[in-house]
Chain A
Amino acid sequence: MLNLKGYGWLLLEGAQLTVLVGLFSMAIAIVLGLIGAWGKLVKAKIPRTAADSYTTVIRGVPELVLILLVYYGIPTVIQDLAKAVGHEIIIDVNPFAAGVITIGFIYGAFSTEVFRGAYLAVPKGQIEAARSAGMGPALAFRRIILPQMWRFALPGLGNVWMVLIKATALISVIQLPELMRNADIAARATHLPFTCYFAASLIYLGITIASMLIQQRAEVWADRGVRRS
């Protein structure tokens, strides 16, 4: 077995934070994805342009550059703006918040496409039936469209989650003590870089396998009430 010289607990602590960052970012990504999909599907021009440019730009720029931009760039923008109106302020960005927001913002663009596809997969007749039964747009969305959308969205969201949880490793560059950062610390302390990083990779693999199992269960849950041939 891998001998981590007593640093195993550090990796496990990091893994906890990794999962936490992943869950928070995923929540943000789902909310942004729903808003983005709404923007792409409405007829009004402004939300559509906004949603289109959001997905086009975000998916064309590497995550690492965006993380660096948010963590180092935004405080300097605010400080420069404050200086322009005559205030000297110093802003410290919390790495957890910066990481969660950036990762959530990036994968919101990917879930936008997932939700858009899921909405289009709900049969039109269902929506018409709901409207003709007297439901308002909000009620029809909540009772009819959203429950069916989950079924079509879950495989795509599962993919987004798998990529997202691996992308959280990038937050280690802004010193958040998640799994990758702690593996780095352990590697330096023990002088066993291969052992430490390999252990970390196995933990990531474990998270991936657990996510796959949960995804299967969730898909069974979302498919309840669908007749199988």
Chain B
Amino acid sequence: MDLGIVWDSLAKLLNGAVITIELTTISVFIGLCLAVPLSLMRVSPNPFLRLPVYGFIFYFRGTPLLVQIFLIYYGSGQFQEFLSQIGLWTFFREAHFCAILSLTLNTAAYTAEILRGAIQGVSFGEIEAARAAGMSKGLLYRRIILPKAFRLAWPAYTNEVVFLLQATSLVSIITVMDITGVARVIAARSFAFYELFIAAALLYLGLVYGVLFLFRKVEFRLTRHLLDRVAIAKKVPPVLAGLK
């Protein structure tokens, strides 16, 4: 066991952690922005809106993320001329851009499906009441359905963010220097395989439980009007109860 090598490469591993956090945050944010309209299209009665989104979600949930990353990063090479003509090749040439694009599309599909379930889980009585109060469709979605759906979707969404955080490790395969990428490069040079991969695993473990902690805090805020106040006063909620 050579702990010195882990200590020496700690700065590089932490740089990798910054990349991991950056990739996760950007793709989670853009993915969520895409997922909201996608989920609304997915529950639309209009088949021209519903079916393309259904296909998109089905494709991205039914194939491995690694294939999606390779399709975008290596696959774009097959259309190099066309992409150069429309001026997009400079983006697709960059592993970093392709990593974010594939992670974003992937999480958008999963999140849209989670939101669809939540939108359909909003009880009919509430929708009926809003309609009876004279709300238009837009107002109904904005004030009643979406806020309720977000609350319902939050635990599943927490899982999705944790999965995405772990999935960012795949971008090391297309040469992005995230935690896994840094660990692989240093391990291959120094032959200190298990030391570095264990260090990487510990970093991920810390990040995952950090995300869980943050998301449980938000969940607590989102649902605090539903909680039993006496119970809260007596007991602090088990924030680190683990993945579920």
Contacts and interface: CB of A to CB of B under 8 A. Distances in A.
- Do A and B interact? yes
Chain B at the A interface: SS class: helix
A147 B93 CA distance: 54
Given A65-B201, A72-B187, A209 B62 contact: yes
A170 B170 contact: yes
Contact of B71 (A69, A201, A205): A201
B197 A63 contact: no
Given A65-B180, A201-B68, A74 B204 contact: no
B168 to A, nearest CB: 8
Contact of A61 (B62, B74, B79, B205): B205
A63 B63 contact: no
Nearest to A205: B62
A63 B191 contact: no
A66 B201 contact: yes
A143 interface: no
Interface string A121-144: 000000000000000000000000
A198 interface: yes
B167 interface: yes
Nearest to B184: A68
Given A55-B242, A73-B194, A204-B64, A65 B74 contact: no
Nearest to B211: A60
B173 interface: yes
A73 B198 contact: yes
A193 interface: yes
A69 B63 contact: no
B1 interface: yes
Interface string A76-87: 110010000000
The prevalent SS among residues of A at the interface is: helix
B169 interface: yes
B64 A169 contact: yes
A194 B62 CA distance: 18
B170 A64 contact: yes
Nearest to A170: B66
Contacts of B158: none
Given A61-B201, A65-B180, A65-B197, A197 B71 contact: yes
Interface string B159-202: 00000001111101100000010011001000111100110110
Interface residues of A, number: 45
A197 to B, nearest CB: 5
Contact of B194 (A77, A200, A208): A77
18 contacts: A59-B208, A61-B166, A62-B166, A63-B169, A64-B170, A68-B187, A69-B201, A72-B193, A72-B197, A76-B194, A169-B64, A170-B170, A191-B78, A193-B77, A193-B78, A197-B71, A205-B58, A205-B59
Interface of A: 52, 55-57, 59-66, 68-69, 72-74, 76-77, 80, 113, 166-170, 172-173, 180, 183-184, 187, 191-195, 197-198, 200-201, 204-205, 208-209
Interface of B: 1, 58-59, 62-68, 70-71, 74-79, 166-170, 172-173, 180, 183-184, 187, 191-194, 197-198, 200-201, 204-205, 208-209, 242-244
